[in-house]
Structure 1
Amino acid sequence: MNSEAKLQEHLSKKPYLIDAIAGNSEMLVSLGRTGRLYRLWWPHIDIPQHVDEIRTGLKWDGAPGGVSWFDDAGDGWSHDAGYVPRSNAYRVTASHPDAPVTVEQTDFAVPGKPIFVRLYRLTYRGEGPGRVSFVHYGSFRIADNELFATTEFRGEHDALLHFRHEYAFAVGSSSECAGYQAGGGARHAALRGETNGNTIDMQSDGVLEWDLGTLTPGTTVELPIYYAAGMSRGEALDALAEAKSIPAAEWLADTLAYWDRFLANAAPCPGGGEEIRTLYERSLLAMKLMADEKTGTIVAAPEFDEYFTRCGGYGYSWGRDAAFVTTAFNAAGLGSLSEKFYDWAVSAQEPDGSWQQRHYHDGRLAPSWGLQIDEGASLLWGMWEYFVHSGEDEAFLARMWPAVEKGAAYLAGFIDPETGLPLPSRDLWEEREAEHTYSAAAVYGGLTAAASFARRQGRDDLAQAWDEAARGIAKSVEDGSWNEAKSSYYRGRKITVSKEAYDTAIARGEKGEVLPRDKAYVRHVLEFDPIVDVSLLGLSVPFGMVPAGESRMAHTADAVEKLLTSHPVGGIRRYEDDSYIGGNPWILTTLWLGHFRTLQGRYDEARKLLDYALDHVTESGLLPEQVDKETGGTAWVVPLTWSHAMFILAVHMLAEKQELHAR
């Protein structure tokens, strides 16, 4: 099978676009609106992922062609899907005009337990009695590896046990199964609905079948299926035994109560009516699932492009995203999640004081393409924001100070003496190398935060030095980064471009130079990057380097709105010539402009930008990264943690001005 064929097979099992997530912050699952389970991460929410393909279907008397897969959007099945209110339990109802059974499926992870539950309620609607069987096919790709797997049926546990190396997953039910098959062509057996009792195989898949008996019209049967994880076969089987020891309905009730308490302990939505409250609560619930229970890591999104076919992946922790997310946690009264994250962030710092692009839950560097100076700067800024929110927790200050001191020293030493801006690094969108204006604002924010920490530590010498460095950056931006032609700040200076782009620019009179790299290589650098980018709003919000009331800042925001508004669907694109996933408007960029309009006191405009997010939630109520520029439908990542954080912040900013009203 060639690489393209392998990709298409992979996408048939794991599409880019998912509809829902469920979990307990240790186990994370991504789901489709048909109830298909695409991915399962455990014991952390970023790595490793363990599922290849899981399918569920029915057989009934007189059904043509064997098993009918009710988790399939085709073959006549229709689905009604959505979250159980105020929870991270996801419920799907599947029906078929020719099937005598309606299936209600509720997916949830038990808080604090390595147990994922799929609770099925099957209602028989045939005209007369009929026999029905339930078929479960499970193919595990344990630790993202298709090799060295074993599947075994354990009769004493009435379960299939999938294991590889240190990970094991036991799949079973409190209802005794009628048939099983481990490996040995399990997928074909599942399609036929005919198992052969093979007990063990060095394969990754297996089938379980439950005979629901002869049902009469109106009868409802409950069937729970448990996925129990462990770091050994024994642990997984013990977890399965615990799952079976309590009725599934009780697990569900406990889980719903847990999420209700979580929301009750958060700051309530500060107004705006039912529509805003619903998305506010869904945002908090989704953000909690993106914060790792054991380490505190915050990931950008559940991974969906493992092979980097259209992007560089999202299932990692970025300091920049997390700084926005923790600020939203603070606003929502969930500062304990912020504190836990910053305790983790210290573990990810490099010996030289920098923080690199993105990380795994254990602090190790994730796949990367170079330093983004705004990452570490954002972390220092976010640490101070949490410190202020905490009521100036001195214990937190003491834990953070060594990292702050090293991080600020790194930032202060990362200044280009020629321009007065931070030296070239990758931009926040990770697409280009330059001395970016947004990065300058982030470094300003990081240094001023570090100076505030230093004063609390009695280190006025460091506070003065870092404040002076920050003021120098601000002055350099004002003196050398204003683009009169567009009434906007330049996006950056000293931008690296291709030789072809460089030659074209020089031919039309732009300034640039060719600079040496290692060995005999060179980079072609233009003096200015004139593209209008929404990140220029970062000079004002959140980093406060340029007040929102300043004329230049106001003109820049107007340029953003004029040049980046997407037509016909509305919303704000990232920058003028954006081509990523077609150049769509993003939710977070639209809300970013809304933040700025709020600071300006232009509340009606800010509210319209907030409403854009309300109008573009997914069917399950989540916020995506992007909105399709042609159709207005959901595009690309679902959910994006940063999108939800920007919504929370927008709500609180408007509420503080008493401008959050129901529409």
Structure 2
Amino acid sequence: MRPAPRAARRRTRPAPRGVRRFRRAAALLVAAGLVATTGSTIPDRPGPGWAGPGLVGGSGWPVTGVPLPVSEAKGATYLAGSSAVRLADGRVRLVPSGSETSVIVPPDDPEVAAVVRSDRAWLADGAVPGDGWTERSRYGDQYRDMASRALLDLRLLTRPNGASLASWYGAWRYCWPRDSAFAAAAFTVTGHMPEARRVLRFLADVQHENGLWAARYNPDGTAVADGRDPQLDSLGWVLWASWFYRVQAPDNGDLPELWPMVQRAADQLAHSLDAEGLPPASSDYWERDHDREQDPRRPTLGVVGPVLAGLRAAAALADGYGGRAKAAQWRAAAKRLSAALTRQFAPYGYPRSPIRGGLMDTSVTFVAPPFAPPDPGVAAAVEDAGFRQQLPNGGVLPGERWQGNKLVAWTPETALFALNAASTGRIDSALGRLDWLAAHRTSLGALPEKVGERGAPASVAPLGWTASLVVLSLAALRHPLPVPPAG
């Protein structure tokens, strides 16, 4: 990456009004998080089992998941359509109803049948995408199983209060609003509306009165006080997920917290736009300080894309709630931002930072279907980014000239390219990405965060964001996902 200009050079200009307002609001939220959270939140060091093969679950309420010990993984499989694990010796590990720890029981224990029956009934309450691709895809016969596993894992990662955790281990055992928004969308698209409502209700409950969210939350809903500023893209993603939910569940009365949450977030975004029509620079899904970007003065595409999708989604929601004044305000803000996107990013081919020679990254998919209407220039940029980020193992890096491990592929980014391909009718491309994801699951079939140079799963599994994106991609193959209206 190119070195950023020195901070002293940037401070010679006063920050635009929208930036100053965002910084004041962010400071208030960080202060609130410091007050609300006690104890250390320094990420744990990887310990035994940190790259475990998947979660074990059980029946009853609350639904609870725990990791399968790595020592038991060899020869273990899930009982079909469930989160109970048959071990190599034939016994079954599961979480008994009402417990938060797993046990090993004989295969004929009544609890085994109860867990399997409960999980299969939950899956049957919604839709499991993935059928019909056996003839066109090498791994097409595994798609439905991959979707079932992803949904069951998302269910286990979602706590009773609606906190949807990124994964089960240490530094991942937190709720990021960004990841939670996609979990809500995955539950929505498969018809699991109670779970989608719980996730959105949690987000409404923890939202600050200024419309912002902390970068991440503990499972109990307290903000994690580790010095991270609020990440502005999360507002856009939550607004998009809220609109996505409302499209599928048009009854305005079943989630009364939705509209107040939308108003606070959309107002914050609309008021944050500067004279150019851009939101302030902020960390995005890379979770990297914006001072390290190629252009630290302006937001990345990883911020602009979600904010634009969120404002458009909020305007469409306001139409449904009868908020004509708000709809007009947010739609006008979205048009200003859309014009800024075209003016600032399009001339350079939609790179991460809007400069000549800007590097490409996966966030170009955030300004394409299913998050934005199709555009030929953006479509070409998506193809370009996918090519530049491709690894020999078949996955992709988060961005061009990635400064992390250049041999390790990331599954969320690979799944985002799959989702875009499925949403734009490029079926073969989508199937190719999904085949790679299906082939690189753990031995239990969970989707990991990363895949190493030799094809082995790496980091944690399951990763909730990847699970959500795979479910959305498989759903989009059959029925195009709705896109927030631009007008």
Same fold per superposition (TM over 0.5)? yes
Give yes or no for the alignment of 1:81 onto 2:49.
no
Q: What residue number does 1:416 align with?
A: 274
Q: TM-score, normalised by structure 2?
A: 0.81
In the aligned structure 2, how far is the partner of 1:255 from the partner of 1:82? 15
Q: What residue number does 1:472 align with?
A: 336
Which of 371, 378, 389 does residue 543 from structure 1 map onto? 371
Give yes or no for the alignment of 1:339 onto 2:197.
yes
Which of 291, 299, 309 does residue 158 from structure 2 map onto? 291
Equivalent pair of 2:56/2:83 in contact (CA under 8 Å): yes
Which of 486, 492, 499 does residue 353 from structure 2 map onto? 492
Which of 384, 390, 415 does residue 591 from structure 1 map onto? 415
Moved over 3 A (4+): 24-27, 111-116, 579-583
Paired residues for 1:9-158 under 5 Å: 14-24=48-58, 26-35=63-72, 79-93=74-88, 103-114=89-100, 116-119=102-105
Equivalent pair of 1:34/1:92 in contact (CA under 8 Å): no
Aligned residues: 419
Larger radius of gyration: 1
In the aligned structure 1, how far is the partner of 2:261 from the partner of 2:128? 33
Which of 149, 159, 177 does residue 282 from structure 1 map onto? 149
Paired residues for 1:174-213 under 5 Å: none
Percent pairwise identity: 25
Q: What residue number does 2:36 align with?
A: none
Give yes or no for the alignment of 1:646 onto 2:474.
no
Give yes or no for the alignment of 1:561 onto 2:403.
no
User: Bigger shift: 601-610 or 392-401?
Assistant: 392-401
In the aligned structure 2, how far is the partner of 1:410 from the partner of 1:463? 14
Give yes or no for the alignment of 1:612 onto 2:436.
yes
- Alignment RMSD, CA only? 2.3
Equivalent pair of 1:483/1:530 in contact (CA under 8 Å): no
1:594-643 CA distance string (max 9 Å, x none): 22223332221221111111111111111111111x20111112111111
Equivalent pair of 1:299/1:318 in contact (CA under 8 Å): yes
In the aligned structure 2, how far is the partner of 1:328 from the partner of 1:10? 30
Paired residues for 1:529-540 under 5 Å: 530-540=358-368
Q: TM-score, normalised by structure 1?
A: 0.60
Q: What residue number does 1:74 align with?
A: none
Equivalent pair of 2:419/2:470 in contact (CA under 8 Å): no
Q: What residue number does 1:624 align with?
A: 448
1:215-270 CA distance string (max 9 Å, x none): xxxxxxxxxxxxxxxxxxxxxxxxxxxxxxxxx80122211211121122121335
Instruction: In structure 1, list runs of 5 or more residues that go unmatched.
Output: 1-8, 37-78, 94-102, 122-247, 307-312, 494-526, 658-663
Equivalent pair of 2:252/2:321 in contact (CA under 8 Å): no
Following superposition, the deviation at residue 456 of structure 1 comes to: 2.9
Equivalent pair of 2:397/2:406 in contact (CA under 8 Å): no
1:321-346 CA distance string (max 9 Å, x none): 12222211112111221111111111
Higher strand share: 1
After superposition, the Cα gap between the structure-2 partners of 1:460 and 1:286, relative to the gap in structure 1 and judged at 3 Å, is: same
After superposition, the Cα gap between the structure-2 partners of 1:254 and 1:613, relative to the gap in structure 1 and judged at 3 Å, is: same
Paired residues for 1:566-585 under 5 Å: 566-567=391-392, 569-585=393-409
Paired residues for 1:277-426 under 5 Å: 277-292=144-159, 294-303=160-169, 306=170, 313-368=171-226, 369-390=228-249, 392-396=250-254, 398-417=256-275, 419-426=276-283
Give yes or no for the alignment of 1:256 onto 2:116.
yes
Equivalent pair of 2:158/2:164 in contact (CA under 8 Å): yes
Tell me which amino acid in the other structure corresponds to 2:368.
S
Which of 304, 315, 320 does residue 451 from structure 1 map onto? 315
In the aligned structure 2, how far is the partner of 1:33 from the partner of 1:14? 8
Tell me which amino acid in the other structure corresponds to 1:388.
V
Q: Secondary structure at the match of 2:104?
A: strand
Q: Secondary structure at the match of 2:447?
A: coil
Following superposition, the deviation at residue 86 of structure 1 comes to: 1.2
Q: Secondary structure at the match of 2:80?
A: coil
In the aligned structure 2, how far is the partner of 1:529 from the partner of 1:594? 26
In the aligned structure 2, how far is the partner of 1:321 from the partner of 1:412? 22
Tell me which amino acid in the other structure corresponds to 1:277.
R
Q: Secondary structure at the match of 2:172?
A: coil
User: Bigger shift: 362-371 or 633-642?
Assistant: 362-371
Q: What residue number does 2:459 align with?
A: 636
1:500-527 CA distance string (max 9 Å, x none): xxxxxxxxxxxxxxxxxxxxxxxxxxx6
In the aligned structure 2, how far is the partner of 1:33 from the partner of 1:111? 23
Q: What residue number does 1:603 align with?
A: 427
1:336-359 CA distance string (max 9 Å, x none): 211111111111111211112111
Higher helix share: 2
After superposition, the Cα gap between the structure-2 partners of 1:453 and 1:650, relative to the gap in structure 1 and judged at 3 Å, is: closer
Tell me which amino acid in the other structure corresponds to 1:556.
A
Paired residues for 1:208-223 under 5 Å: none
1:92-138 CA distance string (max 9 Å, x none): 22xxxxxxxxx4442111244456322258xxxxxxxxxxxxxxxxx
Q: What residue number does 1:48 align with?
A: none
After superposition, the Cα gap between the structure-2 partners of 1:444 and 1:396, relative to the gap in structure 1 and judged at 3 Å, is: farther
Q: Secondary structure at the match of 2:87?
A: strand
In the aligned structure 1, how far is the partner of 2:342 from the partner of 2:45? 50
Following superposition, the deviation at residue 381 of structure 1 comes to: 1.5
Asked which structure has the greater RCO (Cα within 8 Å, sep 6+), the reply is 2
